């Protein structure tokens, strides 16, 4: 009797533990933000916000960068971050692995505040955010851009004919990304021989000037 009861109790607790594992591992469990390891999407194809991107690897800040002769109306900083798995892989190979996510976050450049007399610092409000993602199973060219209203909102896919793709394709130093502006990565791409032919041609032409 004693043994049977004991057996029944442990069988029950085993069942309970098994059920808890089943619930935790169920693929349909709702996700509020992308997992640390890669991109995640809603059922209608939007990108879920990469919640912890501020803990990713910082690649660079651009200040007031502009690709037209007249420049932008407001001075802005842009900050670029990449997921750590992709960064580590780039250090080894000079190339981006599948599931790379690069975040570009735009912030206002300010010059009046506290003790500052010269130069610029970043405002606390995020003015815009875009993600460049490599997901070869999902996008025909391998890469896609998503536009976010705020870092906590879902991102909208930018259609493949948009000018974003053209400029990145024609001028990005490595695989449609602007590694020429990311100082810790450019020497690695050079060393590993992964610089795009168009970029090598551009920089050879410019160095002659
Ligand atoms: C005329 C060229 C040009 C166009 C058009 C352009 N970009 Fe970029 N993009 C750049 C440059 C240059 C950088 C590097 C910024 C830096 O160094 O801070 C960049 C960086 C980025 C990054 C960081 C990751 C990477 O690929 O290097 C994202 C994300 C991004 N752009 C999104 C977009 C989106 C979305 C659009 C279209 C709405 C767009 N870009 C259009 C030139 C361009």
As a whole number, mean pLDDT of residues 160-175 equals 96
Q: Residue 85, class by beta-carbon neighbours within 10 Å (0-12 exposed, 13-18 middle, 19+ buried)?
A: middle
Q: Residue 95, class by beta-carbon neighbours within 10 Å (0-12 exposed, 13-18 middle, 19+ buried)?
A: middle
Tokens 């920089």 — which residue?
203
| Closest ligand 1 atom, residue 163 Cα | 5
| Closest ligand 1 atom, residue 145 Cα | 35
Tokens 């991107």 — which residue?
53
Confidence of residue 208 (pLDDT cuts 50, 70, 90): low
Select the more confidently predicted residue: 126 or 25: 126
Confidence of residue 22 (pLDDT cuts 50, 70, 90): very low
Select the more confidently predicted residue: 151 or 13: 151
Select the more confidently predicted residue: 190 or 19: 190
**Which protein residue has the closest C-alpha to ligand 1 atom 37?**
164
**Which protein residue has the closest C-alpha to ligand 1 atom 24?**
102
Cα angle 100, 125, 178; round to 5: 30
CA of 20 to the centre of ligand 1 (A): 44
d(CA 18, CA 145): 40
Q: Is 70 exceeded by the pLDDT of residue 156?
A: yes
* Residues 164, 158 contacting (CB under 8 angstroms): yes
- pLDDT 10s digits, 27-81: 444 445 555 578 999 999 999 999 899 999 999 999 999 888 877 778 999 999 9
**Whole-number pLDDT of residue 209:** 55
**Whole-number pLDDT of residue 25:** 43
Q: What percent of the chain has pLDDT over 70?
A: 82
**Whole-number pLDDT of residue 1:** 46
Region of residue 49 (left: phi > 0; alpha: psi -120 to 50; beta: else): beta
Q: Which of 130, 131, 195 to mutate to test the pocket of ligand 1 (most atoms within 8 A of CB)?
A: 130
- pLDDT 10s digits, 84-104: 999 999 999 999 999 999 999
**Whole-number pLDDT of residue 73:** 78
Q: Which protein residues touch ligand 1 with a CB less than 6 Å away?
A: 60, 62, 65, 67, 78, 80, 102, 104, 130-132, 145, 147, 158, 162-164, 167-168, 177-178, 181
């Amino acid at each position: 009797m004693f043994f049977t009861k004991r057996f029944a109790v442990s069988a029950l607790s085993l069942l309970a533990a098994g059920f808890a594992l089943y619930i935790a591992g169920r693929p349909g469990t709702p996700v509020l933000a992308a997992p640390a390891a890669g991109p995640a999407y809603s059922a209608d194809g939007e990108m879920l916000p990469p919640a912890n991107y501020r803990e990713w690897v910082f690649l660079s800040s651009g200040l007031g960068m502009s690709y037209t002769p007249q420049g932008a109306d407001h001075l802005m900083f842009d900050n670029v971050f990449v997921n750590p798995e992709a960064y580590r892989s780039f250090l080894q190979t000079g190339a981006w692995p599948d599931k790379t996510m690069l975040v570009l976050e735009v912030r206002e450049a300010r010059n009046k505040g506290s003790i500052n007399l010269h130069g610029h610092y970043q405002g606390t409000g995020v003015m815009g955010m875009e993600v460049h993602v490599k997901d070869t199973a999902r996008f025909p060219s391998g890469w896609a851009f998503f536009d976010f209203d705020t870092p906590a909102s879902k991102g909208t896919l930018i259609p493949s004919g948009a000018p974003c793709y053209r400029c990145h394709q024609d001028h990005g130093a490595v695989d449609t990304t602007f590694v020429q502006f990311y100082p810790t990565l450019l020497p690695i791409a050079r060393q590993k021989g992964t610089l795009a032919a168009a970029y090598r041609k551009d920089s050879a032409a410019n160095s002659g000037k």
